Amino acid sequence: MKPRPRRPNPKPPPGPPVELAIESMGGEGDGVAAGPVFVPFTLPGERVRAQGGGERRELLEVLSASPERVEPPCPHFQACGGCALQHWAHEPYLAWKVERLRTTLARQHIETDILAPFAAAPETRRRVTLHARRGDRNAARVGYKARKSWDLVDISACPISDPAIQAAIPAFRRLAAPLFEHPKSAPSLHVTLTDTGIDIDITGVEAKSGGLSADARMQLAERAAEADFARVTLGGEAAYMIRAPQVRLGPAVVALPPGAFLQATREAEAAMTAFVGEAAAGATRIADLYCGVGTFTFRLAEIAPVHAADFAAPAVQALTAALAGAPGLKGVTAEARDLVRRPVLAEELRKTDVAVFDPPRAGAVEQTAELARSGVARVIGVSCNPATFARDARTLIDAGFRLERVLPVDQFLWSPHVELVGVFQR
């Protein structure tokens, strides 16, 4: 099957067209021909015509299509800089992600049992970032950045996103229209679908000139009310709120601070939380490091007392505030703490037998070193970056741990991105 004709670049790149045989998939989701030469939107086994120079080419035509090629579901595919792999059938796409994870671990000489992956379905993303550009007084242009460009793809649909987010695209356009009083403003709308409605934190509005005028703020609030958004904040400061954005995390209901981190889909969060809870069964005291608003904390606290720590003070405050309404917990203490500069020390973990860590993409070098020194018997690592996870895993393994099993998690659908949960036993 040949792809629908979409040309993200009106002018083809310089260089004569060449015919290439695609042999494998690269780490960013491009097909790879001998050379190597990388061609986006191609699959192993295909013959294609491509144009350009050096290692990177642009696809002109699929001459011989792979049987794994499918029709992309999004009208913006190839133009939008988001999804890279909508043209690949689900099973081989998922197998490729698992193999990438296996290869990444192997670079650190780590072998383990890699379980069947969790895979998010289309239309389940509850958290997206949309960029806005000046339109007219009633509606801005809203969408994602184009491939290899700062240009904007003004979207009409987004098949990775929850239907409630897609339905709100016209309202996002209206909301963003008053944000362009200053020519340097380049707003981004950080959208989260919560249990009580849509929460939006807006960044990128020029503030040095004094920020938005009172009139623009009034328009922003009026348009948020028209759309029945739960809350709109400007760089974390309230601009409008009719309901506190809330999510249920296990037995707790948490009121989210502006810009709070959540797993991208509810279903992935449920799968990861269940896996972490199962791995922590039998614990007598648990440390939840990089706890955020309590994604794992509340589930773990049904098993044993938990000490939770995170660098984001508003997240820790939200977690703490939710404790009073969460029944059946064994006890939770929480602190705001920079776990890079002040990791929880091995000595502080003396009575802890299970530790969970869920760091940002950079990983947890300093905290992993303390876990390696500690007497903790079981460590559960959650990661959005297999490379930094593998590095931190090597530290634990060198200290006497064994990586028993890994759950791959594909919640960033049709991207090269893969997440994981790994269980270590000393």
Question: Tens digits of per-residue pLDDT, 53-96?
Answer: 889 999 999 999 999 999 999 999 999 998 999 999 999 999 99
Q: Would you place residue 378 in the very low, low, confident or very high pLDDT band (cuts 50, 70, 90)? A: very high
Which of the listed ranges 49-58, 142-151, 389-398 does the model predict with the highest average pLDDT? 389-398
pLDDT for 7 equals 43
Find all residues with CB under 8 Å of 14, minimum gap 6, and list them.
52, 53
| pLDDT(290) > 80 | yes
Architecture of the CATH domain 18-80: Beta Barrel (2.40)
pLDDT for 11 equals 59
56 Cα distance to chain centroid: 26
At position 196, the amino acid (one-letter code) is T
User: Domains of the chain: which residue ranges?
Assistant: 18-80, 107-121+262-425, 127-246
H/E stretch holding 334 reads strand 332-336
Residue with tokens 């939006």: 200
| pLDDT(140) > 60 | yes
Tell me the mean pLDDT in the region 336-353: 97
| pLDDT(301) > 70 | yes
pLDDT for 8 equals 46
| pLDDT(160) > 60 | yes
Running DSSP on this structure, what letter comes out for residue 316?
H
pLDDT for 1 equals 39
Q: Would you place residue 5 in the very low, low, confident or very high pLDDT band (cuts 50, 70, 90)? A: very low
Running DSSP on this structure, what letter comes out for residue 346?
G
Running DSSP on this structure, what letter comes out for residue 323?
G
Tell me the mean pLDDT in the region 346-367: 97
Average pLDDT over all residues of the chain: 94
DSSP 3-state assignment of 254? strand
Alpha helices in 156-195 (DSSP H): 163-167, 169-176
Query: Which is catalytic among the residues 74, 83, 291, 384?
Result: 384
pLDDT for 184 equals 87
* Both tokens assigned to 297: 């904390």
Architecture of the CATH domain 107-121+262-425: 3-Layer(aba) Sandwich (3.40)
| Total-model pTM | 0.92
pLDDT for 86 equals 97
pLDDT for 3 equals 39
Residue with tokens 């997206």: 128
| pLDDT(269) > 80 | yes
Decide if 18-80 and 127-246 have a common fold. Answer: yes
Q: Would you place residue 12 in the very low, low, confident or very high pLDDT band (cuts 50, 70, 90)? A: low
Q: 261 near 292, Cβ under 8 Å?
A: yes
Question: Catalytic site residue 291?
Answer: no
- Provide the CATH number for the domain formed by 127-246 in this structure: 2.40.50.1070
CA 314, CA 311: separation in Å to the nearest integer? Answer: 9
Tell me the mean pLDDT in the region 216-221: 96
pLDDT for 54 equals 85
Q: Would you place residue 6 in the very low, low, confident or very high pLDDT band (cuts 50, 70, 90)? A: very low
pLDDT for 183 equals 86
* Both tokens assigned to 73: 């579901």
